[in-house]
Chain A
Amino acid sequence: MESEIDGKAAYAYTGGKPFDVKLPCVVFIHGAQNDHSVWSLQSRWFAHHGFAVLAVDLPGHGRSAGSPLPSIEDLADWIELLLEKVGAGDTANCAAKTVSLVGHSMGSLTALECASRHPGRIARIALIGTAVPMPVSDALLGAAKDKEAKAIGMINTWSHSPRGTIGGNTVPGMWLLGASRRLMERQKPGVLHNDLAACNAYSHGMDAAAALPCPALIVSGSRDMMTHPKAAAKLAAAIKDVRSVSLEGAGHALMAEQPDAVLDALRNFIV
């Protein structure tokens, strides 16, 4: 589905069913240098089980036009603008507070900030592969700026668990490391550095967590090297109404490595 935000095309995959604003809405927000397709299984399930789905391509990513937005705050505002544009969570269309935000990594910070800044529509947030703050090493930031291919290699290595690195993918015939690398390579030059810098600079996260006006779910991979489970536990401790799920053996690329377990966690939280 295409909308227009600030005069630029904004794309969201609707899970294989037309978007119906009268239904409770689930918004899936991808991480750095990714696009909507990281949610293909989970978003299809929700779309076919009574939800209106928006698996977005953030500005400058995938099919959405424009430049990538420079801060988590800007991304949060963009999500709110999109919801406003399509009427999701508007009381004119459906009951209040019917939007669930589901974010991975950078997308989890976006979901957290969006719920903090724009609480009117948001019923709950699910943060997958998250940490607050989300510092990015100088080495990775530097590589993302000057040697993007090297940075993609570093992220690909650190994003997968020991098991994910060998394979045994749930999706038959797909090689996780190759698919993850190619998806990152599809994004435009400069997007990666922008995204990582936005994560690194986001300083409002613990305040947003402490004042979070809705329930939260935190899903962590026990072998996540990018957003360590300890950091996720620290974030969970700051949130008043929180549920935590740890996926044994999963790395940072949780939706690819353990798609069913991620779906089950989301289903138990949202449905």
Chain B
Amino acid sequence: MTYNFNTLALHAGQVPDERYGARATPIYLTTSYVFKDSDQAAALFNMERAGHVYSRISNPTNAVLEERIAALEGGVGAIATASGQAALHLAIATLMGAGSHIVASRSLYGGSHNLLDYTLPRFGITTTFVDPRDLDAWRAAIRPETRLLFGETLGNPGLDVLNIPEVAAIAHQHGLPLMVDSTFTTPWLMRPFDHGADLIFHSATKFLGGHGVAIGGLLVDGGTFDWEASGGKFPTLTEPYEGFHGMDFSEESTIAAFLLRARREGLRDFGACMSPMTAFQLLQGVETLPLRMERHIANTRQAVAHLVKNDAVAGVGYPELENHPDHALAQKLLPRGAGSVFSFTLKSGRTGGRKFIEALRVFSHLANVGDAKSLVIHPASTTHFRMSDDALLASGIHPGTIRLSIGLEDVGDLIEDLNRGLAAAAKA
């Protein structure tokens, strides 16, 4: 038999340990593993036997988390990384080198944008950013040296819903994979492989963990992309690699060549691995992911409905609202909900935003999302405080824009807190 989502969230990847019967996943806080004998050691190094050698490459606790997320996403496997940023970097560094090009949605998390726009060009990898809703722009930006299309399932900051089926089709027509950042949606809201994506990464720091105590990332391979059929675009996966026994990763594994190279080279050489303690903490979060996401969505829907009808609010950007440009697409791709992070705009602008934030008692004012606790930030007075009102508007952010990450508290308390802020903003 096969199991369903809620069961997999609790069990996938772990059976009680044979020696002590521990039901919870043990934390294997060890750097390395004793070999049984010289033959076994050689066989492990040469991939003749499976197992763990050194925790930068793999670790039993991490492996449970990796399997669990792969199971929830419907992929073939996953790699746990030090952060979501590390997962993004690992994917790019596995697929390409200097001279390569990426086409990415322009609606990205700032950290991803920084890596693509400012840092990677120094290493010879450039990116063209496109309006994620403009399918012709995706097509037009593809060049002979393009190696990846990349976007977020729900874009930042306007919650653009990525049209994964269409963008994946464009990618595949050009022999390219589509990778998505699925942090905001988690596999509970959407499984991007079911819609045509080839690679997924998560900042597990957010909803997968949910508790806000651990930084981590997950890179998941759908096993769907045929690297061999891409006309030599991916030599890292289809040609012998001197750095690892002359291995041709596609020959070695028909469906997991990407993960093999990412682990055997990327984790080995770049070393952005996850601590097993972090993996354990994230597993505690994943166990309750379905329950938490249900509550996140239920609370968000009530908060959105409340804000929409408040006189101090100029507008609310949430894809479930009919006036959102991606409403129809959200109904199709995100029937369980469009996440619990969204923005709304105060009529009272920058000053109102500051007053709103300062009046809140339950929402925490900080730069994160996806916590069990409700979070809030006012870009114009924090992340974007140096920008003029005009410059803010040009980048799609209103001076009165507030971003909320709705948590799991009693929704009545959240609405009362929002009312406190709205009243303060109205007086600004």
Contacts and interface: CB of A to CB of B under 8 A. Distances in A.
B76 A174 contact: yes
A21 interface: no
Given A157-B1, A168-B15, A173 B70 contact: yes
B71 interface: yes
8 contacts: A44-B48, A48-B46, A63-B228, A172-B50, A172-B263, A173-B67, A179-B223, A185-B224
A166 interface: yes
Given A45-B48, A186-B226, A16 B247 contact: yes
Contacts of A37: 252-255
A162 to B, nearest CB: 8
Given A40-B253, A41-B47, A173-B78, A167 B245 contact: no
A38 to B, nearest CB: 9
A165 interface: yes
Nearest to A168: B15
Interface of B: 1-3, 11-15, 43, 46-52, 58-60, 62-64, 66-68, 70-71, 74-80, 222-224, 226, 228, 245-247, 251-256, 259, 263
Nearest to B69: A175
B76 A45 contact: no
Given A44-B46, A263-B49, A174 B15 contact: no
Contact of B43 (A45, A63, A157, A174): A45
A178 B3 contact: no
Contact of A174 (B47, B51, B246, B259): B259
B63 A169 contact: yes
A182 B14 contact: no
3 smallest beta-carbon distances between A and B, as pairs: A173-B66, A172-B58, A182-B223
Contacts of A163: 15
B254 A183 contact: yes
Contacts of B59: 172
A35 interface: yes
A170 B51 contact: yes
A165 B49 contact: no
A175 B75 contact: yes
A80 B381 CA distance: 76
Contacts, number: 136
Nearest to A169: B67
B254 A35 contact: yes
Nearest to A1: B251
A62 B250 CA distance: 11
A191 to B, nearest CB: 14
Interface string A38-55: 001110110010000000
A200 interface: no
Interface of A: 13, 16, 35-37, 40-42, 44-45, 48, 62-63, 156-157, 162-163, 165-175, 177-179, 182-183, 185-186, 259-260, 263
Contacts of B223: 178-179, 182-183
Nearest to B77: A174
Contacts of A170: 50-51
A175 B48 contact: no
A195 B256 CA distance: 24
B77 A156 contact: no
Given A166-B15, A167-B68, A169-B63, A178 B77 contact: yes
A104 B105 CA distance: 46
B66 A172 contact: yes
A85 B277 CA distance: 54
A124 B99 CA distance: 52
Nearest to B68: A167
A182 B76 contact: yes
Given A45-B48, A172-B58, A179-B76, A167 B12 contact: yes
Contacts of A48: 46, 48
Nearest to A179: B76
A170 B254 CA distance: 18
A219 to B, nearest CB: 17
A47 B313 CA distance: 69
Contacts of A166: 3, 11-15
A157 B251 contact: no
Considering residues A163, A165, A168, which has the most beta carbons from chain B within 10 angstroms of its beta carbon? A168
Contacts of A178: 70-71, 74-77, 223
B77 A179 contact: yes
A173 B77 contact: yes
Contacts of B226: 186
Considering residues A45, A182, A260, which has the most beta carbons from chain B within 10 angstroms of its beta carbon? A182
A62 B251 CA distance: 10
Given A48-B46, A170-B50, A172-B50, A16 B79 contact: no
Contacts of B74: 178
A27 to B, nearest CB: 17
Nearest to B2: A157
B79 A173 contact: yes
A165 B253 CA distance: 21
A41 B67 contact: no
Contacts of B70: 173-175, 178
Contacts of A183: 223, 254-255
A243 B50 CA distance: 26
A251 B224 CA distance: 25
Considering residues A13, A63, A173, which has the most beta carbons from chain B within 10 angstroms of its beta carbon? A173
Given A40-B253, A167-B13, A175-B12, A260 B49 contact: yes
Nearest to A38: B254
Considering residues A13, A16, A165, which has the most beta carbons from chain B within 10 angstroms of its beta carbon? A16
